[in-house]
Chain A
């Protein structure tokens, strides 16, 4: 339908990915805001990580929305890779050293509080990025919605 020369927009199933990222960004931001305002001294490490994860989700959401641009595409790679490392590292750390996490973060126990969506999301995000490179390949317009 659309011409191949058009710059790649966020389209199709990618828009679903963005809304899931946006919901997690909202949830993580809200949670870390409350944690830091109300009781930062209670668990400084966990709450700092909460804030970091919130920032990463915000950045990843924006980067995916604008991933047609090459700069944002690169930022999306960095943010989502960081997210993947974060959820794996914090998930493992929360199992090994639960004393460091008296209160949960988004990434504790691999995101169990968010039905493991934080664990699955970076894989989906990276898959989407691999499948949708910015207009380096001319004519590679995004596939129409699957039948």
Chain B
């Protein structure tokens, strides 16, 4: 993985997540802003999939378990759309919180992926 790109993804996920949770608790329904944050995050995650495929071929192999890395990545890619669908089936303030929770979970997962890639012991 590429460190700066990981950081960008984690920051977008964390900021987007906190934003959605705050907007939701403030009573906002899903808007272009909150859904857009999730869409942007999904775009970055798809780019991470490309990075995950290409990086080992260009002399940037994972140091940890490749299987574990991909399990996390596939889960992370599925979360924003799943969260958005689940949220938009019922547009209430809690829908926005739901999207925030999904984004925050992605933030943790992407960071964990980077740890698996770079500093896995044994």
A residues adjacent to B (C-beta < 8 A):
9, 11-13, 15-16, 18-20, 22-23, 26-27, 30-31, 33-34, 37-38, 145
Complex CA–CA separation, A9 to B90 (angstroms): 10
Complex CA–CA separation, A105 to B110 (angstroms): 20
List B residues 98-121 near A (Cβ within 8 Å): 98, 101-102, 105, 109
B71, B79, B82, B98: the one contacting A16 at CB < 8 Å is: B98
A residues near B98, Cβ cutoff 8 Å:
15-16, 19
B79 near A145 with CB under 8 A, answer: no
Would you call B13 an interface residue if the criterion is a C-beta within 8 Å of the partner chain's C-beta atoms?
Answer: no
A-B contact pairs, 6 of them (CB 8 A): A13-B97, A15-B90, A19-B101, A30-B71, A34-B67, A145-B27
A11, A23, A26: the one contacting B101 at CB < 8 Å is: A23
User: Nearest Cβ in chain A — how far from B48, in angstroms?
Assistant: 16
B102 near A19 with CB under 8 A, answer: yes
User: Nearest Cβ in chain B — how far from A141, in angstroms?
Assistant: 14
Complex CA–CA separation, A27 to B67 (angstroms): 14
B75 near A34 with CB under 8 A, answer: no
A37 near B97 with CB under 8 A, answer: no
Would you call B41 an interface residue if the criterion is a C-beta within 8 Å of the partner chain's C-beta atoms?
Answer: no
Complex CA–CA separation, A19 to B97 (angstroms): 10
List B residues 28-82 near A (Cβ within 8 Å): 65, 67-68, 71-72, 75, 78-79, 82
- 3 smallest beta-carbon distances between A and B, as pairs: A30-B71, A23-B105, A34-B68
List B residues 78-95 near A (Cβ within 8 Å): 78-79, 82-83, 86-87, 90, 92-95
